[in-house]
């Protein structure tokens, strides 16, 4: 009991190495690798991904603006 009251790495080590084998086997038998996604969960995931990508794009553009001093160098390409 006291081993499970310590820091997270001690608890993880306790579960991985010194846990009761019968309880561990029962847990693994009841575990499923299937992840159920509802439409609501997918919507939240897509919305979060869009917000994250928008935030990163704004951050990179701000860094670019600061580094270049607000001026973007454009390379002209000849018309073929």
pLDDT tens column, 46-77: 999 999 999 999 999 999 888 877 666 666 66
The boundaries of the domain holding residue 46 are: 35-70
Asked whether residue 14 falls in the same domain as residue 3, the answer is yes
For residue range 21-39, what is the model confidence (pLDDT) as tens digits?
888 888 888 888 888 889 9
In a domain, 76, yes or no: no
35: left (phi over 0), alpha (psi -120 to 50) or beta: beta
Distance, in Å, from the CA atom of 27 to the CA atom of 16, rounded to the nearest integer, reads: 13
Give how many domains the chain has, as a whole number: 2
In a domain, 54, yes or no: yes
Asked whether residue 46 falls in the same domain as residue 26, the answer is no
């Amino acid at each position: 009991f006291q081993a499970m009251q310590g820091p997270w790495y001690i608890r993880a080590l306790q579960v991985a190495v010194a846990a009761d084998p019968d309880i561990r086997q029962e847990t693994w038998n009841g575990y499923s690798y299937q992840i159920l996604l509802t439409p609501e969960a997918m919507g939240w995931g897509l919305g979060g991904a869009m917000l994250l990508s928008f935030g990163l794009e704004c951050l990179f553009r701000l860094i670019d603006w600061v580094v270049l001093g607000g001026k973007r160098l454009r390379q002209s390409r000849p018309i073929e």
